[in-house]
Amino acid sequence: MIFDIIRKKFVVLTPEEWVRQHVLNFLISEKKYPISHINVEKQLKLHDTVKRYDIVVFNSNGSIEIIVECKAPSIKINQQVFDQIARYNFVLQAKHLMVSNGLEHFYCNMDYINEKYIFLKDIPSYSLNNEN
């Protein structure tokens, strides 16, 4: 029984998981997002299918600040990857999107009025002032 509990705590270090762990470290250590605001690999319902997002960062009020899509380093970041995160964002409505394969990182700010994303040089750091 203890082995079953311990086994559920381990995560297989696939190439994508390696990227996810590094992105989490970046968000927590460099961008100062509180661990309590971060959710990893949860389901969301998209039309009639169930999908899993990689990382979501919430604000204190429960709104979503960032959605992160992680890919293995061997996966090229292309339009299909952006289409995937855009579909997730249709449901989640985040302020920012981040896509990374560990080698390339792309950051976007969502412009809901003009229905497009605006590429950024970096994702914003955590700030209590930005939680509105």
Residue 29 lies in a domain: no
Residue 52 lies in a domain: yes
CA distance 29 to 62: 22
**Closest Cα partner for 39 from 1, 65, 12, 77?**
65
Count structural domains, the chain: 1
DSSP 123: P
Number of alpha carbons in the 13 Å side-chain half-sphere of residue 57:
26
pTM for this predicted structure: 0.84
Residue 5 lies in a domain: no
Mean confidence (pLDDT) of the chain = 86
Tens-digit pLDDT profile for residues 30-85: 999 999 999 998 877 777 888 788 999 999 899 999 999 999 999 999 999 988 89
pLDDT band at 1 (very low <50, low <70, confident <90, very high): very low
Residue 98 lies in a domain: yes
Range of 89's domain? 36-123
Residue 90 lies in a domain: yes
> Could you tell me the CATH number of the domain that includes residue 45?
3.90.320.10
The string over 42-69, giving b where at least 16 C-beta atoms fall within 10 Å of a residue's C-beta and e elsewhere, is: eebeeeeeeeebbbbbbbeeeebbbbbb
Are the C-beta atoms of residues 14 and 72 closer than 8 Å to each other? yes
Q: Where are the alpha helices (DSSP H) in 12-129?
A: 15-25, 79-92
